[in-house]
Structure 1
Amino acid sequence: MLIPAAAMAQDDAGSAKTLDKVTVTGSLIPQTQIETATPVTVISADDIRARGFSSVTEVLQKSSMATGAVQGAQTSASFTQGAETISLFGLPPGYVKYLIDGRPMSSYPALYNGSDTFNNISGIPVDLVERIEILPGGQSSLYGSDAIAGVINVILKKSMDGAAFSFRGGGYSEGGGGSVRASFADGWTSADGRVNVLGGIQYEERDPIWGYQRDLTKQFNPNGYSPALASRDFLIFSPFTSYKFLDPANCDNVKGLFGGTMDLQNRPGFGDGKYCGSFDTAGYRTIMNEKKSTQVYVHGTFDVNDNVQLYGDALYSHEQVKYHAGSGYMWWGTNRSFGGYFYDPNLDDLLNLQRAFAPEEMGGKNGFNNTMSRDTSKSLRVTFGAKGIFGASNWDYDIGGTYTEYKLSENSYVRFADAAEKFFVDRVLGPQQGLDPYYGNYGVFTPDYAAFYTPITPEEFASFTGRAVTHSKTSDSMIRAQVTNGTLFTLPGGDAGLAVVAEFGKQKWDYAPDAGYLDGSIWGQTSVAGGGKRDRYAVTSELRLPVLEPLTLSLSGRYDAFKASGRNIDKPTYAVALEYRPIDSLLIRGKYGTAFRAPTLSDLYQGESGFYSTVVDYYNCSKLGFSPDDTQGCPALYSSRQYFGTQAGSIDLKPINADVWSAGVVWSPIDRMALTVDYFNWDISDEVTQQSARGLSLQDYRCRTGVDDINSPLCVATMEQVTRNAVGMITEIYTPKINVSNQQLEALNASFNYGYDFGNWGDLSVRASYTEKLRHKYQQYAEDGYVDLLNDPYWSSDPKRKADASLTWLKGNFSATWYTNWFGSTPNYAATFTDKGYAGNRAAKFGSYSRHNASISYRILDGLDVSLMVNNVFNKMPPYDFSYPGTETDPYNSSNFDVYGRAYYVEMRYAFGK
């Protein structure tokens, strides 16, 4: 149930001391009030099942507060395509602090977008979750670094009456994505009640969804503003005279590739315009990962006596995901192998060859399956400790240690540079015959062009391809001690409370890519690299003061210090919160505090690493008469300019700092009815980010054409980062990690919950949550103006508004839930492609968008429940974006939408002994 409610940061079931008060997430001090100064949204295990959610990731991504776009399975060739995360309020994924049972999760070893540390939440076993708590706003005064956007606390089950087994299976009506999940858990309590043990296991398998299984993604855009254009799978081109078609067989030899869809194609305006290509290569990539995962969980407690309890738990996860970036990332060309071009004396021209590899060349029907990337992760989390009471006093204690580690193995299919170059020299180019007569820089070859336009065998393909494995690991060890007194002294409003916490820990990160990515022996690919460690220390205190019966004041403060490479990075944070209850049914609350994010280990220790990508060279396109909002006709030499990017960390980075405050009301006039409204305000400075290559190219254009002052600090910095060669073409772009100036965000979150018992007609409950971003501005440099992330679609396509709601009816052994997820208008592609925003050519907005889930459950007999769930009941697909060109593979915004369609699931749950 998506309601602000009481939630225990660390479950007290079976504790040595029975308390009427509970520990609420957002506070360290036990209390009796359900609602406090800090809003908390709670999603129970029953809600997860009733709404049809299949994973913790889906639960969180559907939350109304998750308004920001994130990379994932639909983002082909991203650095973390196999991972899952969320963005709260459109802030970076790394601004969320993730906890399991109140203790921090270990970071994912690979870097989000090749640059940022974040958490992968795909390995949490959803069937073993008791509830999930979302605590929005800056929370560093209690939880330390990373808690800028908020805190998410996943509470796993702690006790059970007997054993439970569940099985769930289903798939998608459009094909692909079929899955099965089974789980088993059992609890045991000793006869004297002193020992409590719970164990559980969850196993899941899921098939991938391929682009060719969906109408929107199976081919290049047939309904764009420009004609659909096939991929350039066999192409010869010159930087000076554009395309050259030199196939004596007119593509007849390759027509059987890509399922028989290859043919002679033409792109007007590109020389002779002819090449061999297919409209269907766009579908040869995964848009949902294949997945196999197993999680094992054990929790136990032992009451030594009335004052002391020992506790421990362990969570192990093994997960393998498989995915394919597509034929656009499985190709070969001379531009990378031979320094840019080769010279053909018979044509007196500098040329390049490029060709994609088809599934038939990789091994027949399963060719692309054979070349999928495999990410295998193993994570372990172990906690041991003791808690209890100091003698007959009012002082409680909790002392424990937690160790977490995350190991990742990325097994990718690659092309080996030397072997590929030798193969194509022997087969197509022939021996080199010196250097070109014009520049004396490019090799001279007289190719056998007929051989170039000829398929290769799977054996030949295997001769220059294989697998490269990258290993990475993070670990975090922590010793934590807390003392608490919930009745420190008495004030007019009740008992004051105090909590003090001390922490010490060690953190490590190591990312060791296959050597071939860094030394160039792997063709066309590179990687990030780095590693480091640091010690961390923290002291936290919280004081709760019921000043008057209706008024409570809470104060919290924390000091964090990180020691890395002889440098001490420290930060104090604090918060002041007020609760005012003029009447029993009304709470007025407010909070002000500071938050921060320390430079992560990757921020500090990421080595200088490179990547290949493409960018529009807006400046050179403008010289040919193409404006930034319409570069479709600009030659590929400029409109899809390949460049080498570099990035690196810095030991001198500063912490990210934030001032965050909130104010709200909770009104509950009758039983089972509550309305909450909360306002949040962030002012974030000194952010660490990697600059945008596309933004740098556009800014370079603005500086060189006089739109902006070429002597301004912004232009000087931009032109130093964008490197051009002697003929003025982009060759390198440096996108470093920097502390940028400022980001400001205002957001509103409201929820409504109502329930009514109709007697013989059953029980009805309604729950709804709504989030609206009121303002979101970003300033990259102190000398620059603010970018409006909320209203300027060039900088952000996130929705301003998002909501979800559920209606549940319970009657006897029967229950039914209807769930709706909604978000407001979003920009089309044309609006995001130019700095003119909605004034640009073809720019427009899409209307609001919603999807609906339905579930029905029935208890067949005591302990046995059967459920049918239908997600996306109306099989709603993304709105078709006609402002994309015909060269686009996905004519929709994959950051806001997915093309998975309607899903069906059947679930059986049996509780033994019920």
Structure 2
Amino acid sequence: MKPRLLPLMISAALLPSAALAQDQREDTAAPTPRQMDTVQVTGSLIPRAQVEGPSPITSITAEDMEKQGFTNVFDALRSLPQSNGSVQDSQFTGGYTPGAKTVSLFGLDPSYTLTLLNGRPMSSYPLAYNGSTSIVDIANIPMGMIERIDVLTGGQSSVYGSAAIAGVVNIILKDHVEGTHLRYRVGGYEDGGGASQRFQFSGGTAFGNLNLSYALELSKQKPIYAYQRDEVDSVEDNPTGQGIYPSRSFLRQVTNTGATAYVDPGQATCDPLNYMFGGSNSYSLRDVAGGGYYCGSPRNVGAASLMSESEAVNGSVFLRYDITPETEFYTDLLVSYSKPTYTGGLPSWNQTFYNQDAGRFELWQRIFSPEEVGLHSKDQRVYTRSYNIATGVRGPLGDTGFDYNVYLNRSWSNAIRKSTDFLAANGVDDYYLGPRLGTNGGYPVFSPNLARLYQPLSRELYGQFSATNRAESESQTQNITALVTNTSLFELPAGSVGFAAIVQGQQEKFSNQSTMPGSENLFRGNGGSTTAAGSRDLAAAGVEFQVPILESFNANVSARYDKYSLEGGGGNGKLTWKTGLEFRPTDTLLLRGSYATAFRSPDLFYLYSRQSSGFSTATDQYLCRQAGFTSENFDDCAQGGQSIRAVSTGNTDLRDITANTFTYGVVWSTPDNALTASLDFNSVFIENEVAVLGSGDILETEANCRLGASESGTPFDINSPTCRDVLAQVTRLGPNDPVTPNGITEVATYPINLSKQRQNGLQAQIDYRWNGGNWGDFSTSIGHYRVLKHETKYQEGDPTYDQLCCNNSNELHYRTTASLSWNKGPMGATLWGINNAPTWRQDGEHRDIGPWTTFNGSFSYRFNEKMGVLFTMNNITNQMPPRDRTNGGWPFYDTGNYNVFGRSGTLEFQVDL
């Protein structure tokens, strides 16, 4: 029987969820008007009094995240209504960045969202997202050190520069802590795995003019494996009803053209191997053309990790020294270390060769079981270290009315990736096949040892045949910034004109090695890799004005020029600007709108990627579809899921990605701000997008071009610009190859500016709080985002693709979140829920998978001023991903939108001294 949560956790699921009951007197007090002192607001360089501005902004406090059940920054940001795009997480172990986490606003590429720490830029993650794109990793931002997170949507390049196309995520840490605070949290998942612990310590002290705040967070997360979830522990969980054949853990296949067939090992050969894969290995039949009998298991997929094992240490120090009562010297430091561990499954080996003894071409294959080599034999570890430090001086410029802030900022990240791979020499090939005897038709010739193929492999032999593939990557961003502001530059009849000017110099540098240098020679069948290194300098200057045109009508105008200089010569410059308008006909009503130009400078990976090669798993859709197979049964095709060599290079001639963004909306509140509602329309138009199609995308498009139409019937012209480009990227064998006539030898790709994208949608928010008298205080919040249009056109002459349709995209076309909180005396509770729109079936025929609705709950109690407890339960109803009866590919659901983690609970003890 699977372990269950403590009875306390089960019964607590019936409670509404929980709010932390700290500062109850403040929480339960009658509503008061908003503070009107000027503060720094994300999206503007000028301190301002109004909470709402010309662009929609969502703020999530640390208290919000805790009482809504989120255990990390990624989960909190990914659950926002505007974060409707599908992103890779720890379930996607076949990618380049399973240890990193990012979000997608408006369904756009994560690189279109600028992530800041205390308003300052962070270095990109050293490994490339999808092997080609820079992202900022939010996996190691410590929850216990966060004050709030601001999410500002729409183009913000005129204030922040590159990447702020979809919006800005500004993570603001606590820079002032009084007293000493201790937190210890423990949790786990009802269906097993995922046990976690977290310890947080924070405090602050003062020494005369020096104020020091500090914090430390230690966390540990156990993994969740597929074998721990009934929905995905076997390929027999396939929901299509058609069945999936067991994986070929022991296979010998004749591959001669026209005579492809499995070599029957006989049941007597397979029976002694039945103990493998948890007793599921057996004599199996794959009843397809070119198939036959073999020894296989449906449960080898269970060894894949769904949630990474991880250990992390984070620390922060904030130093403030008053040079004068108005002038402050400051230093902010955040240091992080983490070690996520993940695996895509068990080690495997295969080789196509000419069998000299049998006089024919053959394929031999092994998938090694946990009983042979252990569950952790293919673990990959990413040792990630990073720091962010800023030091500067801020204060008034005498009695001029101007304030200044001059600082140096440096952000650095280092990732060491370690994996266990088979050696190319003196390894597994020699063990099974013996010495190479020559070449036949381009294939190696061996006299193999057949007896060894059906023998278990010992851990000792696996250790001899494999070695650690260690690769180190690094990225850094450093800048010097000078900011001058004046909230009253001069007076107009309607009020004071605000002003800000910024000058910035910055350098970006990175070195990326996703595999060991020379790994293509050291290791056999080395997976896809990225090798790149380069740097560039930035000089930027910008201004911003806040202009009161009428007493009730304000304009905010900003402009910025960014100039990049590339290593080795060349560069680019871009001027961006923004105009925002605010009209307040009454004190409780705001009409707002903004228009902005924005840009994304080309990724360093796109610019400086060296020619690199590797192998990725993809289906030769042209040969498979030509043979009568479809996406529903590509696994039955001889060319389905094969290892394909891919090569790529960078392109320093890339132009900036440009964008125009437009928003307008309305905000209304009651005089006491107890009820606030907003509705905003957003529009984004992007040009000169950089695109690098993956091997799977290229091969799908190539098949569409060669066959004249996609599987769904969309016509393709083989003479169109896209088809001509794609056909040139795929190199195939000749028609007389002895094993795979017209088979793929290589897929080549490189980044180019080509596509256009248009996206628009509606975002809405309603917040209401009221006093229930003896029943306590209540508050509720509802957020919603709906995509109205999302289209992409890759090149002139190509059709326009609806990204909300069929298989073009898996973004959510709407998302709704809602919460209800209650506080009374020392107790607090919150119930939070999210409703995700239905997604498209795998076959692209209907959008009827889901919707998927989950609830989180929390309950808190303060024993006294110094001690309290917080209990949370996530996915209270234990919702699993909705079944897609057309998805025959394990794990049978879209990992970008769903997970099978299930119900979880945490218990946190709090001490405040």
Measured after TM superposition, the shift of residue 505 of structure 1 is 1.4
Is the 1:247–1:449 contact (alpha carbons within 8 Å) kept by the matching residues of 2?
Answer: no
Aligned residue identity for 1:464: F
Q: Does 1:279 align with 2:298?
A: yes
User: Match of 2:156?
Assistant: 139
Q: In 1, Cα distance between the equivalents of 2:115 and 2:815?
A: 22
User: Match of 2:521?
Assistant: 519
Measured after TM superposition, the shift of residue 360 of structure 1 is 2.1
Measured after TM superposition, the shift of residue 92 of structure 1 is 0.6
Q: In 2, Cα distance between the equivalents of 1:433 and 1:472?
A: 39
User: Match of 1:540?
Assistant: 542
User: Match of 2:883?
Assistant: 880
Counting only pairs closer than 5 Å after superposition, residues 191-230 of structure 1 correspond to structure 2 as 194-222=209-237, 223-230=239-246
Q: In 1, Cα distance between the equivalents of 2:133 and 2:66?
A: 33
Counting only pairs closer than 5 Å after superposition, residues 750-761 of structure 1 correspond to structure 2 as 750-761=764-775
SS in 2 for 1:775: strand
User: Match of 2:613?
Assistant: 610
Aligned residue identity for 1:205: K
Measured after TM superposition, the shift of residue 629 of structure 1 is 4.6
Q: In 1, Cα distance between the equivalents of 2:148 and 2:626?
A: 58
Q: In 2, Cα distance between the equivalents of 1:159 and 1:77?
A: 42
SS in 2 for 1:107: coil
From the superposition, tell whether residues 697 and 369 of structure 1 become closer, same or farther in structure 2 (CA, over 3 Å): closer
Q: In 2, Cα distance between the equivalents of 1:92 and 1:434?
A: 48
From the superposition, tell whether residues 622 and 200 of structure 1 become closer, same or farther in structure 2 (CA, over 3 Å): closer
User: Match of 2:762?
Assistant: 748
Q: In 2, Cα distance between the equivalents of 1:751 and 1:57?
A: 21
Measured after TM superposition, the shift of residue 864 of structure 1 is 1.2
User: Match of 1:709?
Assistant: 717
Q: In 2, Cα distance between the equivalents of 1:781 and 1:519?
A: 38
User: Match of 1:397?
Assistant: 404
Aligned residue identity for 1:342: Y
Q: In 2, Cα distance between the equivalents of 1:771 and 1:43?
A: 17
Q: In 1, Cα distance between the equivalents of 2:518 and 2:279?
A: 34
Is the 1:344–1:351 contact (alpha carbons within 8 Å) kept by the matching residues of 2?
Answer: no
Greater RCO, CA 8 A, separation 6+: 2
Q: In 2, Cα distance between the equivalents of 1:848 and 1:36?
A: 33
Greater Cα offset, 244-253 or 67-76: 244-253
Structure 1 unaligned runs (5+)?
2-17, 336-340, 832-837
User: Match of 2:489?
Assistant: 488
Measured after TM superposition, the shift of residue 246 of structure 1 is 4.6
Q: In 1, Cα distance between the equivalents of 2:324 and 2:454?
A: 81
Measured after TM superposition, the shift of residue 910 of structure 1 is 1.2
User: Match of 2:173?
Assistant: 156
Aligned residue identity for 1:712: S
Q: Does 1:428 align with 2:432?
A: yes
Is the 1:235–1:243 contact (alpha carbons within 8 Å) kept by the matching residues of 2?
Answer: no
User: Match of 2:276?
Assistant: 257
Q: In 2, Cα distance between the equivalents of 1:387 and 1:876?
A: 51
SS in 1 for 2:77: helix
Is the 1:493–1:552 contact (alpha carbons within 8 Å) kept by the matching residues of 2?
Answer: no
Q: In 1, Cα distance between the equivalents of 2:585 and 2:438?
A: 89
Measured after TM superposition, the shift of residue 493 of structure 1 is 2.3
User: Match of 2:8?
Assistant: none
1:860 to 859, 863, 868: 863
Measured after TM superposition, the shift of residue 450 of structure 1 is 2.6
SS in 2 for 1:418: coil
Counting only pairs closer than 5 Å after superposition, residues 607-686 of structure 1 correspond to structure 2 as 607-626=610-629, 628-632=630-634, 635-636=637-638, 638-671=639-672, 672-686=674-688
**Residues 529-550 of structure 1, C-alpha deviation per residue, up to 9 Å, x if partnerless?**
0101111111011011001001
- Percent pairwise identity: 33
Is the 2:632–2:887 contact (alpha carbons within 8 Å) kept by the matching residues of 1?
Answer: no
Aligned residue identity for 2:293: K
Is the 2:691–2:755 contact (alpha carbons within 8 Å) kept by the matching residues of 1?
Answer: no
User: Match of 1:733?
Assistant: 747
Aligned residue identity for 1:717: D
SS in 2 for 1:827: coil
Greater Cα offset, 731-740 or 55-64: 731-740
Is the 1:165–1:184 contact (alpha carbons within 8 Å) kept by the matching residues of 2?
Answer: yes
Aligned residue identity for 2:414: K
2:203 to 152, 173, 186: 186
1:242 to 240, 250, 260: 260
Is the 2:857–2:872 contact (alpha carbons within 8 Å) kept by the matching residues of 1?
Answer: yes
From the superposition, tell whether residues 252 and 652 of structure 1 become closer, same or farther in structure 2 (CA, over 3 Å): same
User: Match of 1:351?
Assistant: 362
**Residues 344-373 of structure 1, C-alpha deviation per residue, up to 9 Å, x if partnerless?**
443x421111111122221xxxx1225411
From the superposition, tell whether residues 205 and 447 of structure 1 become closer, same or farther in structure 2 (CA, over 3 Å): same
Aligned residue identity for 1:274: Y
Q: In 1, Cα distance between the equivalents of 2:171 and 2:906?
A: 24
User: Match of 2:249?
Assistant: 233
From the superposition, tell whether residues 19 and 384 of structure 1 become closer, same or farther in structure 2 (CA, over 3 Å): farther
Is the 1:29–1:498 contact (alpha carbons within 8 Å) kept by the matching residues of 2?
Answer: yes
SS in 1 for 2:574: strand
**Residues 667-706 of structure 1, C-alpha deviation per residue, up to 9 Å, x if partnerless?**
1134211000111100001111211333322322233234
User: Match of 1:342?
Assistant: 354
**Residues 36-71 of structure 1, C-alpha deviation per residue, up to 9 Å, x if partnerless?**
112210101111110111001111011111101111
1:27 to 28, 40, 44: 44
User: Match of 1:724?
Assistant: 732
User: Match of 1:15?
Assistant: none
SS in 2 for 1:561: strand
Number of positions where the alignment pairs a residue of Structure 1 with one of Structure 2: 861
SS in 1 for 2:248: coil
User: Match of 2:28?
Assistant: none
User: Match of 1:896?
Assistant: 897
SS in 2 for 1:251: helix
Is the 2:355–2:448 contact (alpha carbons within 8 Å) kept by the matching residues of 1?
Answer: no
User: Match of 1:764?
Assistant: 778
2:584 to 578, 581, 585: 581
Greater Cα offset, 219-228 or 140-149: 219-228
Q: In 1, Cα distance between the equivalents of 2:878 and 2:291?
A: 44
Measured after TM superposition, the shift of residue 306 of structure 1 is 2.7
Q: In 2, Cα distance between the equivalents of 1:786 and 1:492?
A: 50
Q: In 1, Cα distance between the equivalents of 2:247 and 2:543?
A: 61
Is the 1:517–1:527 contact (alpha carbons within 8 Å) kept by the matching residues of 2?
Answer: no
User: Match of 1:407?
Assistant: 414
User: Match of 1:299?
Assistant: 318
Q: In 2, Cα distance between the equivalents of 1:68 and 1:651?
A: 29
Measured after TM superposition, the shift of residue 160 of structure 1 is 2.1
Is the 2:527–2:616 contact (alpha carbons within 8 Å) kept by the matching residues of 1?
Answer: no
Under a length normalisation based on structure 2, what TM-score does the superposition of the two structures give?
0.92
**Residues 365-422 of structure 1, C-alpha deviation per residue, up to 9 Å, x if partnerless?**
xx122541110111011111001111112010001101110011001111111132xx
From the superposition, tell whether residues 706 and 34 of structure 1 become closer, same or farther in structure 2 (CA, over 3 Å): closer
Q: In 2, Cα distance between the equivalents of 1:489 and 1:686?
A: 41
SS in 2 for 1:184: strand
Is the 2:320–2:330 contact (alpha carbons within 8 Å) kept by the matching residues of 1?
Answer: yes
**Residues 686-742 of structure 1, C-alpha deviation per residue, up to 9 Å, x if partnerless?**
111211333322322233234433333222212101111102122211232111220
From the superposition, tell whether residues 868 and 307 of structure 1 become closer, same or farther in structure 2 (CA, over 3 Å): closer
Aligned residue identity for 1:123: N
User: Match of 1:597?
Assistant: 600
Q: In 1, Cα distance between the equivalents of 2:372 and 2:529?
A: 27
User: Match of 1:567?
Assistant: 570
1:89 to 69, 90, 106: 106
Aligned residue identity for 1:163: T
Q: In 1, Cα distance between the equivalents of 2:439 and 2:725?
A: 37
Q: Does 1:361 align with 2:372?
A: yes
Aligned residue identity for 1:255: N
From the superposition, tell whether residues 825 and 250 of structure 1 become closer, same or farther in structure 2 (CA, over 3 Å): same
Q: In 2, Cα distance between the equivalents of 1:632 and 1:715?
A: 23
Under a length normalisation based on structure 1, what TM-score does the superposition of the two structures give?
0.92
Q: In 2, Cα distance between the equivalents of 1:280 and 1:403?
A: 47
